[in-house]
Amino acid sequence: MERRIAGIIYILITFALVNEMSINVQAKDNKRRTKEKGGFQKNICDVSDRESKVHCYCETSREPKNATKAECWVFNGGIPRNDLIWQSFASQPTLKTLSFNVRVDGALSYVPTEALQYLKNLKSINIKYGTIPEIQSYAFANLTNLTEALLSQNEIESLRQYAFAHLPNITLINLDENMIVEIGTDVFYNMPKLHKLTFTKNNISSIKDGAFQHTFNLLELDLNKNNIFHLNRRTFDGLANLRKLDLRRNRIYNLTEFTFAELWNLQELLLGKNDLKYISERAFDGLSQLEKLSLDDNKLAALPSGLFAGVRGLTSLDLRSNELHALTLDDIKPILDNLKPQNSNLQLEDNNFVCDCRLEWMHSLRNETRSQNTKTSLNNVTCKMDPPIVSSAYNKMSDVIENKIDYNQEILHAGITIETLNDKMNVTEKKILKDDLNDENDIDAPSKKAVKRNVLKIPPGTLPCPRDNPKTTEPPQLIIDPVVPIQNEMKTFRLRDSNAANIHCRYKLVLLSCFAFFFT
Ligand SMILES: *[C@@H]1O[C@H](CO)[C@@H](O)[C@H](O)[C@H]1NC(C)=O
Ligand SMILES: *[C@@H]1O[C@H](CO)[C@@H](O)[C@H](O)[C@H]1NC(C)=O
Ligand SMILES: *[C@@H]1O[C@H](CO)[C@@H](O)[C@H](O)[C@H]1NC(C)=O
Ligand SMILES: *[C@@H]1O[C@H](CO)[C@@H](O)[C@H](O)[C@H]1NC(C)=O
Ligand SMILES: *[C@@H]1O[C@H](CO)[C@@H](O)[C@H](O)[C@H]1NC(C)=O
Ligand SMILES: *[C@@H]1O[C@H](CO)[C@@H](O)[C@H](O)[C@H]1NC(C)=O
Ligand SMILES: *[C@@H]1O[C@H](CO)[C@@H](O)[C@H](O)[C@H]1NC(C)=O
Ligand SMILES: *[C@@H]1O[C@H](CO)[C@@H](O)[C@H](O)[C@H]1NC(C)=O
Ligand SMILES: *[C@@H]1O[C@H](CO)[C@@H](O)[C@H](O)[C@H]1NC(C)=O
């Protein structure tokens, strides 16, 4: 009897408890619970629990199995990978666009594959401000409909093998502004439609050979602003369809032969703002489709003579802000005709060109090109007037340029040379040249600015040719023996007008040493 009563009480209590619980649950979840195969789940679009670590705002509809877009905020840290919240995404299998916006540092430390696996219709995933040290293998759950993965600013450091794999419709992966250090092999695997892959602003210093061998349909690879210093002929293996490669703002100092040989379809190669000093004559071999090449802001003092023979399709070339002391007709000849149409582009400003006859082709190109950009750039190209004594030693030119002891002599000789030119020219020209000189002449004491001239303001035919190196394929128009101007210069100096004296007297000391030099 006692047993029976105890049993009834037990049953009553249990019933009461269950009832109480279900009332609570109904109240909390606003009667919107859905019964799924896996048991009770929240509708991720309708989470009213303030304690929830994830809140999503859904568009088009909040009804179960009907939303197409969800924007989710992640608030609290340390959500376990197997947290039930991820299962709740099964309540909205029609989602096409999903974004996670992480509001608290460290709140999301992995790609929530657990959630993604239910979203077979998902086309776009965007995660921002997470702290995701590693993208694990198959992180995107082999989703067949996924077309883009946007993962910028997540402090990603490493990418596991197969991190991005079996995504048959993905076209874009954005990994900008992370902390990726290395691109290993087989990170990108079986993504036949991947067209664009971007790594702007990471810390990549190493790209394993063959890292891209499975991304053979990639059209654009962006490695701008990283730490890359070494490339070799296997770095870009497999990228036979690539059209654009952006390597700007890295630390590449040496381009060895066949570095880009695999890139048969490359049209645009951006290498600006690196530390390039050396380019192999065959560095660009294989780039038969290349149209645009930028090498601006590097440290190139010379280009190998056959460099452009490998890239005969080039119509746009940027060599600004290097240390080039010459660019000969022979160098530029393979692409010279490409630089004449209206939409072509040649940029050469801000180099260390030496004023000599090897620059004379610039006059003809300026005359013949229909590209306004090229004209403007050529008009602004400057060269340094070179002390005659150095002319016979062009091979050592980079040494001379770096040698600051020669600086005053350079200025001195520039002045004299200009007067020599004045003898040959008419009055108006003379006036222009003097103005130029005066402009440059605020070089009081410590300024290290050497006298620069606009190449195209020096009449063609008056530029001296380096004696040891008469390297021009055009019939020599007027070759001035470097020795002759020295005598002329002295004569001119004695007969100088007061203006010029003004200029020269400031450099009396240097002048004296110069005379001493002439007479020894
Ligand atoms: C789903 O959303 C559409 C609008 O996008 C609406 O017409 C339809 O009635 C909704 N279905 C359910 C079951 O709520
Ligand atoms: C993917 O998208 C297509 C077309 O939008 C659709 O028919 C299909 O059901 C979606 N889901 C999967 C798993 O392919
Ligand atoms: C994705 O596919 C690979 C290869 O078929 C398999 O090994 C892996 O378990 C799959 N991952 C997911 C999350 O479906
Ligand atoms: C994704 O790719 C599969 C083939 O792997 C195809 O059947 C499906 O229709 C594609 N979905 C979309 C949206 O293109
Ligand atoms: C970038 O990587 C190098 C190692 O290659 C490391 O020393 C450096 O601290 C990293 N920089 C940042 C900002 O993470
Ligand atoms: C650049 O690469 C070439 C070819 O590998 C090599 O001979 C040369 O020494 C390298 N230059 C520097 C500065 O490392
Ligand atoms: C360029 O054109 C001007 C006239 O337009 C002509 O005087 C000059 O000789 C030409 N220079 C060259 C190098 O063709
Ligand atoms: C180049 O020349 C144009 C006018 O021809 C001028 O406006 C521009 O400032 C110059 N640029 C430089 C960098 O000197
Ligand atoms: C200046 O040069 C032009 C041709 O360039 C010439 O016709 C003219 O006579 C010259 N003037 C003087 C004063 O020498």
Q: What are phi and psi of 150, to 5 degrees?
A: -110, 115
Which atom of ligand 2 lies nearest, measured to the CA of 145? Answer: 1
User: What is the sign of the dihedral through the CA atoms of 210, 216, 218 and 220?
Assistant: positive
142 lines ligand 3 (CB under 6 A): yes
Report the residue among 329, 362, 363 best suited for mutation to probe ligand 7: largest number of ligand atoms under 8 A from its CB: 363
The predicted structure's pLDDT at residue 169: 97
Q: Looking at per-residue confidence, does 16 or 111 come out higher?
A: 111
Alpha carbon distances (Å) from 468 to 358, 393, 465, 492: 13, 7, 9, 26
Q: Which residues pair with 189 in a beta bridge?
A: 165
Give every CB contact of residue 2 below 8 A, 6+ residues apart in sequence. none
Mean pLDDT computed over 271-285 = 95
Q: Which of 210, 209, 214, 207 is nearest to 193 (CA)?
A: 214
Pocket flag, ligand 1, residue 205 (CB < 6 Å): no
pTM of the model: 0.74
Domain ranges of the chain: 392-448+480-519
* Spatial separation of the C-alpha atoms in residues 446 and 219, rounded to whole Å: 51
Q: How many angstroms separate the CA atoms of 152 and 8, rounded? A: 61
In this structure, the residue with its CA closest to atom 9 of ligand 8 is: 380
Q: How far apart are CA 264 and CA 342, in angstroms?
A: 26
User: Of the bound ligands, which one is closest to the alpha carbon of residue 429?
Assistant: 9
Asked if residue 390 lies in contact with residue 406, where contact means CB atoms within 8 angstroms, the answer is yes
Does the pLDDT of residue 475 top 80, yes or no?
no
pLDDT at 381: 95
Instruction: For ligand 7, say whether the CB of 48 is within 6 Å of any of its atoms.
Output: no
* Nearest listed ligand to the Cα of residue 179: 5
* Residue 202 binned pLDDT confidence (cut-offs 50, 70, 90): very high
Measure 419 CA to ligand 9 centroid, in angstroms.
17
d(CA 91, CA 448): 71
User: Hey, whose CA ends up nearest to atom 6 of ligand 3?
Assistant: 138
Nearest to 34 by CA among 137, 136, 118, 152: 118
pLDDT of residue 175: 98
| pLDDT over 50 (residue 203) | yes
When pLDDT is averaged across residues 89-104 and rounded to a whole number, the result is: 92
Which run of H or of E encompasses 21? Answer: helix 2-28
Candidates 345, 410, 338; CA nearest to 378 is: 345
Is the pLDDT reported for residue 333 higher than 90?
A: yes
CA distances to 207, 235, 239 from 211, in Å: 7, 7, 10
Residue 359, CA distances (Å) to 54, 331, 332, 382, 444 in order? 66, 11, 11, 10, 30
The token duo for 58 is 């859904």
Is residue 98 within a helix (H) or strand (E), and if so which, with residue range?
A: strand 97-102
Question: What kind and span of H or E run contains 34?
Answer: strand 34-36
What separation in Å is there between the alpha carbon of 63 and the centre of ligand 2?
20
Centre of ligand 7 to C-alpha 478, Å, is 16
What is the atom index within ligand 5 of the atom nearest the CA of 205?
5
**Which residue's CA is minimally distant from atom 1 of ligand 3?**
142
Of the pLDDT bands very low, low, confident and very high (cuts 50, 70, 90), residue 489 is: very low
Ligand 4: distance of its center to the CA of 169 in Å? 6
Alpha helices in 29-165 (DSSP H): 84-87, 113-116
Position 433 pLDDT exceeds 50: no
The DSSP secondary-structure symbol of 448 reads: -
**Whole-number pLDDT of residue 6:** 57
pLDDT score of 425 more than 50? no
pLDDT tens digits for 120-174? Answer: 999 999 999 999 999 999 999 999 999 999 999 999 999 999 999 999 999 999 9
| pLDDT tens digits for range 54-77 | 999 998 888 888 899 999 999 877
- Tell me the per-residue pLDDT of 379-422, one tens digit each, with 9 for 90 and over: 999 998 755 433 333 333 343 344 333 333 433 343 333 333 33
Q: From ligand 3's centre to the CA of 197, what distance in Å?
A: 22
177-186, 460-469, 511-520, range with the lowest pLDDT: 511-520
- CB of 379 closer than 6 angstroms to any ligand 8 atom: yes
Contact, 191 vs 215, CB < 8 A? Answer: yes
The response to whether residue 229 sits with its C-beta less than 6 Å from ligand 5 reads: no
Query: What distances in angstroms separate CA 172 from CA 21, 215, 243, 440, 448, one per listed residue?
Result: 47, 12, 15, 51, 49
Task: State the average pLDDT over residues 211-225.
Answer: 96
Q: How far is the CA of 242 from the centre of ligand 5 (A)?
A: 28
Average pLDDT of 316-333? Answer: 95
Q: Which atom of ligand 6 has the smallest separation from the CA of 277? A: 13
Q: Which residue has the higher pLDDT, 212 or 475?
A: 212
Cα-to-centroid distance, 159 and ligand 5 (Å): 16
Q: Highest mean pLDDT: which of 396-410, 438-452, 501-515?
A: 438-452
pLDDT of the residue at 287 = 94
Q: Which of 68, 144, 146, 167 to mutate to test the pocket of ligand 4 (most atoms within 8 A of CB)?
A: 144
For residue 104, with 0-12 CB atoms within 10 Å meaning exposed, 13-18 middle and 19 or more buried, which class applies? middle
In this predicted structure, the answer to whether residue 35 has a pLDDT above a threshold of 90 is no
Q: Would you give the end-to-end CA distance of the chain in angstroms?
A: 135
Rounded CA separation 411/323 (Å): 19
**Probe ligand 4: pick from 120, 145, 170, 191, max atoms within 8 Å of CB?**
145
Average pLDDT of the chain is 77
DSSP-derived 3-state class of residue 519 = helix
Nearest-ligand number for the alpha carbon of 256: 6
Give the pLDDT confidence score for residue 1 in this predicted structure: 53
18-27, 103-112, 289-298, range with greatest mean pLDDT: 289-298
For position 79, what pLDDT does the model report? 86
**How many Å separate Cα 207 from the centre of its chain?**
16
Ligand nearest to the CA of 142: 3
Torsion over CA: 486, 492, 494, 500 (sign): negative
For the purposes of burial, counting CB atoms within 10 Å of the CB of 244, is it exposed (0-12), middle (13-18) or buried (19 or more)?
A: middle
Residue with more model confidence, 121 or 444: 121
- Nearest ligand 3 atom to the CA of 113 is 13
The response to whether residue 429 sits with its C-beta less than 6 Å from ligand 9 reads no
Ligand 7: nearest atom to the Cα of 367: 1
> CA-CA distance, 328 to 50, in Å (whole number)?
72
Question: Does the C-beta of 171 come closer than 6 Å to ligand 2?
Answer: no
Cα separation, 481 vs 503, whole angstroms: 26
Enumerate residues 6+ apart whose C-beta is below 8 A from 43.
32, 33, 34, 62, 64, 88, 91, 92
Of the candidates 217, 156, 163, 154, the residue with the CA atom closest to the CA atom of residue 185: 163
| Ligand showing the shortest atom-to-Cα distance for residue 459 | 7
The CA 147 to ligand 3 mean position distance, Å, reads 18
CA of 202, nearest ligand number: 5
Residues pairing with 126 in the sheet: 99, 150
Cα(11) to centroid(ligand 1), Å: 43
Indicate which ligand has the atom closest to the C-alpha of 168: 4
Model pLDDT, residue 84 = 87
Tokens 């087989």 -> residue? 186
State how far the alpha carbon of 253 is from the alpha carbons of 72, 298, 455, in Å. 44, 9, 29
pLDDT tens digits, residue range 230-265? 999 999 999 999 999 999 999 999 999 999 999 999
pLDDT surpassing 80 at residue 42: yes
Q: Which helix (H) or strand (E) holds 390?
A: helix 388-391
